[in-house]
Amino acid sequence: MDKGWLDLCINHSDTFDEWFDPNEFNWNLSKYLAQCCYNHFDKWFDPNKYDWYSSKHLAKYCSAHFDKWWDTDKFHWESSGSLARYCSKHFDKWWDAKKYNWNAHNLVPQYCSSHIIKWYPYLKKQDLNLSPIQIAKLRIAGLI
């Protein structure tokens, strides 16, 4: 790991314009740009250079820029729970029951409850702790 770039990302985001050079940057550390330099997103984000294995950091720290970074083919779907947790307002853009990591099934009811009609058919066999409001929505929709 390049500790110089790591230190700059973590401790010097306030002087980002002075040190960041996209041609010199170690893009294996791009998750630290998302984590620490999200205020400079438009200056550093490049979908062809970003380490998409760390795409959960985009969801967590750069959700305000969702429309700029979202790419269903590049997103690391093993981290799809981060979409439920941090990008629920963009549910209709990212939701794909075939790609979603069902190991994170508990995050969908917790953070995307307003979309229950869309995700419930895929989770109805799970042991879910649904609220009375969620149950009422499902009854109205004829799903239970």
How much is the pLDDT for 64? 97
Residues of the chain with pLDDT under 70: 1-3, 124-128
How much is the pLDDT for 12? 95
How much is the pLDDT for 117? 84
CA dist 128 and 94 (Å) reads 22
CA dist 127 and 21 (Å) reads 49
pLDDT digits (tens, 9 = 90+) for 21-63: 999 999 999 999 999 999 999 999 999 999 999 999 999 999 9
Q: Extract long-range pairs of 110-118: CB within 8 Å, 24+ residues apart.
A: 110/84, 110/85, 111/84, 111/85, 112/84, 112/88, 114/88, 115/88, 115/91, 117/141, 117/143, 118/91
Structure pTM? Answer: 0.86
- Delimit the domains of the chain by residue range: 1-50, 69-144
How much is the pLDDT for 108? 87
How much is the pLDDT for 32? 96
How much is the pLDDT for 126? 64
Q: Which two tokens stand for residue 76?
A: 């690391």
